[in-house]
Amino acid sequence: QKGETVKKMREESGARINISEGSCPERIVTITGPTDAIFKAFSMIALKFEEDINASMTNSTVTSKPPVTLRLVVPASQCGSLIGKGGSKIKEIRESTGAQVQVAGDMLPNSTERAVTISGTPDAIIQCVKQICVVMLESPPKGATIPYRPKPASAPIIFAGGQAFTIQGQYAIPHPDLTKLHQLAMQHPPFTPLGQTTPGFPGLDATSPTSSHELTIPNDLIGCIIGRQGSKINEIRQMSGAQIKIANATEGSAERQVTITGSPANISLAQYLINAR
């Protein structure tokens, strides 16, 4: 309430705790101070997370308790020391603390930092953070660090039970316009087998014409639309029911041509999902 929790953490730990501004899905909490103060602040954060997990389980049917998970943001130049030769250091930290530790392979967007995910019991996490602090003190970052700044994302969209929801914080907010589009798109597969007519429904021509729509997308953004091994673009194809073709990069051009084919509803949903990405 009004920052009371974090105020109490600051007072009890003696660490400086700063929380980044903004209506982003992610906020960055920076904890500064001597190792023991950081250690104390992290124990309070881990215990608070555990409290939240327990509270969320009271009325839930889930039987196994999820571990507490924290994502640390670490300068990439320090990740090598954290992993150690042939993974020796990270293995030692895992074994001695019982926490799961994972260092992301890629840097966070527009930064020279990587995410290190730790999960386990609050105790394991606290011990783990202590060991990570020691490594970071022993091998300070090399060169300049470009810090990761979360961007206000367009809220992710989830389709469940034929309804569309946008995720805001921890809540799924029903999105009626998208639900309508999704239902229209689902009633209109892009191609009807020969000899079958598409079922008519009010508002659209019974034979719902298939049309094409062209978009140009800057080269540097195409990656986040395609996703790793095409995972995102396939998701967009499935959700929208549209066919989506991405032209090969042409030399000297900073843009790629994207062609979307399907019913009007398929196309508008595909466009919406591409813009959201």
Tell me what pLDDT residue 143 has.
87
Q: What is the mean pLDDT of residues 161-165?
A: 66
Residue range 136-158: mean pLDDT, rounded: 80
| Mean of the per-residue pLDDT values of the chain | 81
235 band by pLDDT with thresholds 50, 70 and 90:
confident
CATH class of 1-56+65-138: alpha beta
How far, in whole angstroms, is CA 211 from its chain's centroid? 33
Do residues 267 and 242 lie in contact, with contact meaning Cβ atoms separated by under 8 Å? yes
How many separate helices (H) and strands (E) can be counted in the chain? 9, 11
Task: Examine the pLDDT at 204 and tell me if it is beyond 60.
Answer: no
- Say what the pLDDT of residue 157 is: 64
Cβ partners under 8 Å of residue 178, min gap 6: 157, 164, 166, 269, 272
Identify the burial level of 120 via C-beta atoms within 10 angstroms of its C-beta, where 0-12 means exposed, 13-18 middle and 19 or more buried: buried
What pLDDT score was predicted for residue 168?
Answer: 59
Per-residue pLDDT reduced to its tens digit, 83-123: 999 999 999 999 999 999 999 988 888 889 999 999 999 99
Domain made up of 210-276: CATH architecture: 2-Layer Sandwich (3.30)
Supply the pTM of this predicted model.
0.55
Domain ranges of the chain: 1-56+65-138, 210-276
**150 vs 93, residue with greater confidence:** 93
Residues 101, 116 contacting (CB under 8 angstroms): yes
Assess whether pLDDT exceeds 90 at residue 60. Answer: no
Each residue's pLDDT tens digit, 192-201? 444 444 443 3
d(CA 28, CA 19): 6
**pLDDT (0 to 100) of residue 182:** 63
> How far is it, in rounded angstroms, from Cα 132 to Cα 185?
49
Q: What pLDDT shows up at residue 200?
A: 39
Give me the half-sphere count of Cα atoms (radius 13 Å) on the Cβ side of residue 111: 18
Q: Would the pLDDT of 15 be above 90?
A: yes
pLDDT at res. 228: 86
Is residue 28 pLDDT above 70, yes or no? yes
Six token digits for residue 105: 């392979």
Domains 1-56+65-138 and 210-276 share a fold: yes
The helix/strand/coil state of 96 is: helix
pLDDT at position 206 is 41
Position 153 scores a pLDDT of 54
Range of weakest confidence among 11-15, 27-31, 36-40, 219-223: 219-223
